[in-house]
Amino acid sequence: MELFIQLEKNFKEIVKGKAEPTIGFYELLWVNYTGFARYGKTKDLLDEIFKWSEANRSKHPDFFAWITLTIGSVLFLTDDFEQSKKYLNDAAVLFKEMQDEESIAACNVVMGFLYRSTGETDLAMRYGLYALDMLENTDRYKVYLIMCYYWLGGVYMENGHYDNALKMFESALNLDYPLGIQHFSARLVNAIGGVYMKQGKHELALMNLNKALELSNSETESTFIARGLTDLGDYYLAMENYVKAIEYNKQALEIRVHSNIRNGSITNYINLGEIYLKKGEGEKALNVLLECLPIAEDIHVKPKLYQIHQKLSEVYMLLGNTGDSFKHFRIFHETFEAVNNDDIENKVKNQLALYKAEQTRKENIIIKAQKEEIEKEKQRSDDLLRNILPDEIAQELKTNGSAKARYYDEVTVLFTDFKDFTKISEKMTPDELVKEIDECFKGFDEIVEQFDLEKIKTIGDSYMCVSGLPITNPEHALKAVHCALKIRDFMDKRSGSDSRSGKPVFNIRIGLHSGPVVAGVVGFKKFAFDIWGDTVNTASRMESSGEAGKVNISNATYELIKHHFNCIQRGRIEAKSKGLVEMYFVEEEI
């Protein structure tokens, strides 16, 4: 409480005209009220200071601007983000009127903190880098420079730039700590422990996390103690020590609930939900996640909202409730998209909030690179989904969180495999075998795409694809046969080359059958698109009943393509589990 007593004494001297407000007084004001923001211990004095500054605004405009900044900071720390933005923007306008760029930078530090909390990382970086460029070149506001290093380091760490994060935290530790805030070093030591954790240096991580708790001031820093306990919980979760992970998160949660730290408490609820989920204790996970959901909805912190819905989706799936699982997965997806793809209206609103100042070249480069990286990650995610699922199914899954199974009354299924594959593979090293199969299947993929077929899967040396879905096509059989002949020719050419070079030769069998199938998505964590039905089984028998270098088709497929291709009738041939089946070899196009 020494800093508070000093603040009260200095304020009384200013009121009596015995002293003028100084930078030191303003920093003392801010440190006190951010330190005690959640406890209400100094609220009466804050109200008194605000009233006096408002009454004396014309004489001390800087005083009024600083108390406005301080109130904005307190509102941020108590999770009232919208009101906080209002006061911080008002303070920035007041400082701009006074042409006080360094004080604007101080506003931007807090604004950066705020936008980081709400998940608007691009804006957080924009404010933070502007502030850093200004504050690194002045001796004023070391408190804010320390804060700026601290949270920018956090942003770097969250985005995987661990060396940059470490540099930021260590730069802050090396500064002279003004106004008795030496205890802030605990946050920085804790943050360094977090970096080591990300780097897998677990012994260094634990040492720094424990040291941070030892350095913290229990009177003013119980909020940080909750953060330190949470990070220790993360450490023990990574070490799979679930008992200690639960213990530390519960201790942190107790502090945060008692102090009404709603945003921080959500983190502990989510952590507990994840731990219970890993332990297979679905009901416990469900209870803690449902307890924090209304809190997150009330303060509307989107990054934590989508984390909660993602975990709820997993919990309900564990409990066998697929309906609620898909419901929360859909909400998770929509909220995640909202965080990473703000609409135009919000982008314009956010641009206006930046009070029309141009940023430095360094800032623009970093923000642009970060946005490009986000877009690349989103594109990689979309491309991966499209590689696994047909485009139409992937879009339905993204939109609805699930994809309905569909019945197709006419498709053509194509199977391939290699004759005597097991014997040939015994003559090759594992690397040679995998390389050969990979090159063959890549060639098949290109041919399948050329004829608009949908690849379903590979199983060992077998390759399966289908023509006529998810978009129906009356020429499904013609396209499938064209595709089969092209695959045969591709392998004939490849086999000739391998034979001349002395490499093992892969001889391919290809089989096709036409008929109805059911298609749909199976799995939850690892989606797979598959087809089922007797048509699939019969197509497989066409392949196994064929001959190397031949395209073997059923009578059903023959009836659909007989006017377009020359075929050799093989007669009725015994097929496993099918009895005698009419089969044909396709020769060439008429």
Any domain includes 507: yes
Are the CB atoms for 270 and 291 separated by under 8 Å? no
Q: Does residue 101 lie within any of the structural domains? A: no
pLDDT at 154 over 70: yes
Residue where a domain stops, chosen among 224, 257, 290: 257
Burial of 419 (0-12, 13-18, 19+ CB in 10 A): middle
Phi, psi of 175 (to 5 degrees): -80, 155
- Name the residue among 417, 413, 411 with its Cα closest to residue 550: 417
More confident residue, 140 or 534: 534
Q: Is residue 342 part of a domain?
A: no
Percent of the chain with pLDDT over 90: 33
Structural domain contains residue 511: yes
Rounded (to 5) percent helix, strand, coil in the chain: 65, 10, 20
Question: Which letter, b or e, does each residue of 446-458 get, where b requires 16 or more Cβ atoms within 10 Å of its Cβ?
Answer: ebbeebebbbbeb
Instruction: Round to whole Å and give the CA distance between 181 and 163.
Output: 26
Highest mean pLDDT among 20-24, 383-387, 478-482: 478-482
- What radius of gyration do the chain's Cα atoms show? 33
Location of structure tokens 């003028």:
20
The answer to whether residue 566 is domain-embedded is yes
In whole angstroms, give the CA distance from residue 589 to residue 482.
Answer: 8
Residue 178 pLDDT > 70: no
Q: What is the model's pLDDT at position 421?
A: 86
Q: Which band of pLDDT confidence, cut at 50, 70 and 90, is reported for residue 362?
A: very low
Which of the pair, 173 or 28, is modelled with greater confidence?
173
Res 290: pLDDT: 95
The verdict on residue 223 lying in a domain is: yes
Predicted TM-score (pTM) of this structure: 0.48
What percentage of the chain exceeds 70 in pLDDT?
Answer: 80
Q: How confident is the model at residue 232 (pLDDT cuts 50, 70, 90)?
A: very high
Q: Cα–Cα–Cα angle for 288, 294, 298, nearest 5°? A: 140
Query: pLDDT digit string (tens) for 195-208?
Result: 999 999 999 999 99
Residue 539: inside a domain: yes
Angle between helices 185-198 and 222-238 (to 10 degrees): 10
* pLDDT, tens digit, 9 for 90 and up, residues 88-124: 999 889 988 888 888 888 888 888 888 877 777 777 7
Q: Is the pLDDT of residue 358 over 50?
A: no
**pLDDT tier at 192, thresholds 50, 70, 90:** very high
- Among 257, 277, 310, the domain-final residue is 257
pLDDT of residue 10 exceeding 50, the answer is: yes
pLDDT of residue 115: 84
Q: Which residue has the higher pLDDT, 267 or 15?
A: 267
DSSP-assigned letter for residue 182: G
Residue 135 confidence (pLDDT): 84
Per-residue pLDDT at 292: 93
Identify the CATH number of the domain in which residue 206 sits.
1.25.40.10
Q: Looking at the domain assignment, is residue 132 inside a domain?
A: no
How many domains does the chain fold into?
A: 2
Q: How confident is the model at residue 349 (pLDDT cuts 50, 70, 90)?
A: very low
Question: Residue type for 480, please?
Answer: A
Does the pLDDT at position 507 exceed 60? yes
Region 223-230: what's the mean pLDDT?
A: 84
CATH number of domain containing 522 = 3.30.70.1230
pLDDT per residue as tens digits for the range 48-88: 877 888 888 888 888 888 888 888 887 887 778 888 889 89
pLDDT at 387: 61
> Which band of pLDDT confidence, cut at 50, 70 and 90, is reported for residue 15?
confident
Alpha-helical segments (H) within 57-173: 61-77, 81-97, 101-117, 121-135, 142-158, 162-173
By mean pLDDT, which of 102-111, 169-178, 285-294, 311-320 is the weakest? 169-178
Q: Are residues 291 and 324 in contact, defined by beta-carbon separation less than 8 angstroms? A: no
Q: Give the range of the structural domain holding residue 475, as residue numbers without chain letter.
A: 403-589
Spatial separation of the C-alpha atoms in residues 125 and 373, rounded to whole Å:
14
Indicate the residue among 214, 241, 257 that finishes a domain: 257
Average pLDDT of the chain is 82
Residue 353 pLDDT class (50, 70, 90 cuts) = very low
> So what's the pLDDT on residue 207?
94
Instruction: Give me the pLDDT at residue 132, please.
Output: 83
Check pLDDT > 70 for residue 42: no
pLDDT of residue 16: 79
Q: Which of 114-118, 318-322, 377-381, 586-590 has the lowest mean pLDDT?
A: 377-381
Give the pLDDT band (50/70/90) at residue 368: low
What is the pLDDT, as a whole number, of residue 383? 61
Range 559-568 average pLDDT: 94
Q: pLDDT band at 329, cuts 50/70/90?
A: confident
Query: Rounded CA gap, 99 and 88, in Å?
Result: 16
Cis status, amide bond into 470, omega within 30 of 0: yes
